[in-house]
Every structure is written in structure tokens, then in C-alpha cells.
Chain A
């Protein structure tokens, strides 16, 4: 799996944005006009569609494919104040050998940690191909000055992070200051260099689906390689209808600009059943081009073990139990 994201400067991104908007100057007014001109999202219809996709019946060979694919899409995550070097190493060991009973088990896509744990994770994962993702920009609240956010980002990249998960300034977004949100994302993207940028919108704080759609477009316009639902620190975190709106956004964005952007729901996805519902949605909304770790990720910790249990069940025909999968 390769992530081919060219480094882009904030200036480049602003120029590209003006092009998309068809304006000569990127002002807050231009952004507002554009974002508010997007079709609205009807809450009832959106939730009904998500629920109806949730009734797909995924069995046997399809289930086996979905479980392995979902495992390969996980950003195995620990984001606690209590994280230690030992805890992070242990998580990395789990990523390297998810199921010691079955060496054919795929590995997750990345391990996701706070910036100060990047070096530890990098060392533990070595050249396994598993990426190290770091949360940055004063995660989870994002309430810090721009220089601090940029330093936070550069620090993680310097320590070897392959991917940066930033948070947007929700305060700026909710007050209608879209230009500030745009500029921060673009600058963080520049600070990322070759690292992949995931933009966390914290949809639980944006509340409406209209806001989710606008924040998705704004994040893509500003150069995000992925749009991500949540930090996992705010409830509700990822939901099916929110992810549905985001999948529609990346689908339509590619049609509009030719650029493909990934989607990462994070937080609250704990079971195989849930993960499969998300994959069905990816398949039927964004399309099969998104069905790979390059374009879809799960931000999760406990999900992996449930997928492993279900995988064992498919292989052996019997449920084992929580003591037959390892805690990280």
C-alpha cells in the first residue's frame, strides 16, 4: 500500500481553491457563497438511507472478504493521557501480529498515537509497512494558536509520522469564519510535507448534516487527503449517516475536480457488524474505488479484536471467546 500524496504549499492550495470556486480572490464571502450553495441534506432521508444500507445481509465468502478488508483498514489507536512507551510498543506488537493463532491474518493499516509517541511507534513498527499516524494541531480541541499547531505537526512529521490527523477549528467554522478554517488546513498540509493529512471535522460538534457536508468540502478544498469524522473524545463520534454524507462528498468531489479523497470514520465502531455496515456504504455510495486502506480507514481500538473473533469463527466454525484474542 502506498500513499502518494504530493507535498503542497498553502499558496498552491489557495490558487487551486480559487480555480474551483471560479474567483480571483479567496475571501470568506466567496467560500460562504460556495459552501452555502451546496445542496442541502434532508435529515430524515439521510438517516433512512443509512439505515436501509444497514440491512444488507453479508454472509459467507462476502463476510470473509469484508472482515479481512476491514482489518486492513484499521488505524489501531491509543490516544490517552495515560499512554506510555510500554503501552505503545504493546499496541505496535499487536499490529504486527494481530492473531498469533493465524499468521494469514492481515495487518491493520496504521497505528495512531499522540505526537510524542511517534518515535516509539516508528521504532517498534520499523519497516513493516504499517504506518504511524499522529494526531496533531492541539488535538482534540484544536484550541491553540496557529504557530503551536504547525509546530505540533512538524514535530510529529520530524519524528517519522507517515500520516497526520489534524482537527479543524470548530469555533471558527461555527462562527462562519470559513477562511480561517481553510487557511489552517492549508498551512498544516504544507507543514506535513510528504505525510498524508487527515482532517478531523469533529462532526459531533458540527451537529447538522448540512454542516458536515460543508466542512467536508472545505477540508477537501484546503488539501486534506482524508476527511475524518471524529476525535473519539466527543459524543456522538462516527455514525452511519454522517459517514454517508462524507462518502457522497468525496464521490462528488472526484467528479468535480478529478481528485480522490479518503474517508475515515473514527470512534464508536466496535463490532464486526458495524464495520460491515460501513463497508456496504462505501461500496454503494462512494463506489468500489474506495474499498482499500488507501481510501478508507476505521479509527478504532476494540474493533480489531471483534473482527479477529469473527474471523476465527469463520475459519473454525465455532466462537472462541475473548481470551482467544490478545489484548494489546
Chain B
């Protein structure tokens, strides 16, 4: 036994009350639960609650409620008033932070230290940030100088993934509401609970009925929302495959869309990098949230001259990662979100080994129940291997080498995706050159996986289109019409 054995430090789950079953949140109230399906804790496979599968009729009611709210209240409200509601939501999120953190960890499987220190605080920050925009859109927003004020689209359908359930909800709802749109949001099938708790927050904040509607369900619910004729815009975060289906489905309609899809980011380490921090950046890049991050640094591109040194340091560091009970405050890695995802990770890693990659994991004992995958490093990976091209979406790092900055750029860009990239070097001029050359929406320099509401986020190529966050992110939620078409500043004109 090691001399300094950290005793269990479990966060209490007593702070959160989980109902036995949940209805949908439509027009300011919860419907009666029906067509129930379970949502489970991926860390031990216990059922947490049952939630309702929304059918096309339910989606129709939700969209109708959103339309009424848009035309009756929200679209006519002044920006300053909308901002007050958003500030109120942000404050409630902070006040109930522990409750959200615990619920998110139970439903998603990610460690409590991440929900506590990342997911929930940044979700609140998004509401604070966009609350500030609500009354400034007319003169500081995305419209060109002298043009009419930006106008909301109307009813926005939003579909979010299971990897950051509350945070993605915040990324979607905060800008939509700030710009005067109303929302029908569908959380992921495996992680609906934090969105349903957020519905309570909307009630607590006295948000007018119908401004936010939450419909739970599987892919068919999402499809019904996408295809609904009275939805003006779709905002989607999830897989490239579904993103493409959405784009096909709305082609030829007036619907607007932003798609934030997959990634296969290169994390590029030069021989003059601050090595100890680069190791942390590699670890954070691929093991944060068990690697279930669209912008994860899943491809380590390391300069060949320091390959052995970096891999040795990395392995030593991975030996100190603590994998286990997500509710334990000292866990660094938690559970994989679902059996389906675990199977996908397993089969891709097997394929990598079959193609010649060498697989390594630190010694760690995984819990018997639940969905678990050890932190894994694949060395000897080539550009042609599936593990170098396909998104694994798990705690699996593929290690490749390069010789020159030009080769690093070529290999980094040689992917169907283009969401993010990392550059590690002490040379400032090289950082700027690399940032210019890399075809990725976000380039992190000497850091990785930093998120801030003021900074736009989004992809190139098959990583999607549109930006979220910052001033750029507002553009996706408004029309900047020429002055001649302008009617009033209220924006309630369709």
C-alpha cells in the first residue's frame, strides 16, 4: 500500500432530489410522465429516474408554446428586461451549483471535480455573459454600423449531446434568449436530468411560460423537432453523422442551422516546448471528461527528437491518474457515458492494435459494474490508421511524430475535421505561424481545453459550421437585415 493513500472523499448526493419519473417541460409546466424510459448512472448501472419519450405531438405542443411566447412576450420584450431574466438564471445556477454538479455527475459519469469546477461554473458564466449582451445588441451587436438592429429568428430547436449536458444547454439557451428567440431543447437520451432541473430553474426565475421548453427522448424526438415546419432555426451539437442528416433534412427550407460536430484534434508538441506543462496539456486534452470531448486532443503530434522523452514522461504522469467513483472528489477519470459508447471505444482501440499500434495503459483497477475504460496510449500510430482518422470519443491518445513545423501542419490538417488544435512551443513567432496555418476553429497555444463565454467556438470542414460564444456566437441567433426591411426594434416581426 502506498504511504499516502487518499481516503475515500465522496460528495454527498443528499443535496439533490431526483423524482421517480419526469414529464416534459412545455409552456412553463411539467406534463404528466408517459412513455417512460430509464436514465441510468453509468458508474454503477443503477436507474436514476424514468423520463418521457416525446413524440411528434408533444414536440408540436412545445413548438406552439414557444411560438406563442415569442410572439406574445419574449420577442416584444426590451433587451434590458430579457437581460434581467438571464442574470437571474445565472445567479440561481450559482446558488444551486452543488446540486447541479452532483446530478450531472450521477447522470453522466464524469468526476465531481469536473462538474464542480468546470461544467457548472462555465454554464453560469455563459448566462452572465449573454445577459450582458441582451440590451447592447442594437448598437454593439453583429449588425454593421448604420444598419437596422439585429432581429431574432423566432423559435429555435436545439439538440445537445451527452458529454456536457448542462454546459451545452447553457451554450445553446443563453445566446438564444439574449437575442430574443424562444427555445425548444432536446437533451441527450442518456443525460436528460440536468436539463429537467434547469426547467425548475426557469420556473424559479419566473421566466415567462413557453420561452424555454424541454422535450426528452431519443433520436426520433430530435428528428421531429428538426422537421417541424414552425421551427426557424436548428442548433445542434453532436456527431457528424447526425449533423449531416440534419443538414439534408432542412435543405430547401428557410430554416437556419448551426452545427457543432466531431473532431480529431492534433495536439502538437515541439522540441522547445515547456515539457512538464505540455504533459499536463496532453493529459487534459485527452483525458478530461474521459476524452468524450469533441475538441479533445486525441492525436498527439510530437517532434520525433523528443518522442521517447515525452512518452516516458506521459506514462509516468498517467500512473498518478485516479480512475474510479465519479462522486469521489479525488477521482480524475470517471465512467464512460453508456455501454454503446464503451463498445465503440473498445472496438476502435482493438482496430488500432490490429493495424499495428502499441497499446499501453497504467495499472488501474476498474469497478466491476458500470462502463469503464482505462486511460490508454497508442504509440506507433500512422496517419493511415483508423485511430488516427476516426473520432474515438474516449480516453485514448494516438501518438504520431513529425520532423518539421511544415510536416506538423500538414499532418494536423490532414483530417476530415477541423475543430481544434494545440501548439506547444516557447517560440512566440511559431505559435502565430502555426495558428495561421492550422485549419481549426480553435487553436490553443501552450494550453488546451480552455473555454470561455467570450471566445467563439466552432469548426472547419466536417466539424460543422457556425460559432458559439463571443460576439460571433450571437450572429447565429439573429438576422441582420438591411435598413429598408426594418420595422421596429422589438423584433417581433417574422
- By beta carbon, the residue of chain A nearest B425 is A40
Binds A, one of B167-175, B270-278, B380-388: B270-278
Chain A residues with CB under 8 A of B330: 56-57
Between-chain CB contacts (< 8 Å), 6 pairs: A42-B446, A56-B330, A61-B5, A65-B4, A248-B276, A283-B2
Chain A residues with CB under 8 A of B281: 45
- By beta carbon, the residue of chain B nearest A251 is B316
Complex: how many Å from CA A291 to CA B446? 31
Most buried by B among A42, A284, A288: A42
- Given A41-B276, A45-B446, the answer on whether A288 and B4 have CB atoms closer than 8 Å is yes
Is A39 a contact partner of B273 (Cβ separation < 8 A)? yes
**Segment 222-257 of A: residues with Cβ below 8 Å from B:** 248
Complex: how many Å from CA A39 to CA B274? 5
Q: How far is the CB of A69 from chain B (nearest CB, A)?
A: 8
Q: How far is the CB of A308 from chain B (nearest CB, A)?
A: 20
Is A45 a contact partner of B273 (Cβ separation < 8 A)? no
Per-residue interface assignment for chain A, residues 189 to 229, with 1 indicating a CB less than 8 Å from any chain B CB and 0 otherwise: 00000000000000000000000000000000000000000
Is A279 a contact partner of B274 (Cβ separation < 8 A)? no
Q: Which of A45, A63, A66, A283 contacts B274 (CB 8 A)?
A: A45
Interface residues of A (CB under 8 A from B): 39-42, 44-46, 48-49, 55-63, 65-66, 69, 248, 279-280, 283-284, 288, 291
Chain B residues with CB under 8 A of A62: 4-7
Per-residue interface assignment for chain B, residues 223 to 262, with 1 indicating a CB less than 8 Å from any chain A CB and 0 otherwise: 0000000000000000000000000000000000000000
Is B446 a contact partner of A44 (Cβ separation < 8 A)? yes
B113 contacts partner chain A, Cβ-Cβ < 8 Å: yes
Complex: how many Å from CA A59 to CA B10? 10
- Given A45-B277, A46-B277, the answer on whether A40 and B426 have CB atoms closer than 8 Å is yes
Per-residue interface assignment for chain B, residues 1 to 17, with 1 indicating a CB less than 8 Å from any chain A CB and 0 otherwise: 01111111100000000
Chain B residues with CB under 8 A of A44: 277, 446-447
Chain A residues with CB under 8 A of B8: 59
Chain B residues with CB under 8 A of A283: 2, 4
Most buried by A among B2, B7, B273, B277: B277
- By beta carbon, the residue of chain B nearest A60 is B7
Chain A residues with CB under 8 A of B3: 65, 69, 288, 291
Complex: how many Å from CA A112 to CA B273? 39
Q: How far is the CB of A42 from chain B (nearest CB, A)?
A: 4
Complex: how many Å from CA A56 to CA B320? 13
Is A42 a contact partner of B274 (Cβ separation < 8 A)? yes
**Segment 432-463 of B: residues with Cβ below 8 Å from A:** 446-447
Is B280 a contact partner of A49 (Cβ separation < 8 A)? yes
B329 contacts partner chain A, Cβ-Cβ < 8 Å: yes
- By beta carbon, the residue of chain A nearest B271 is A39
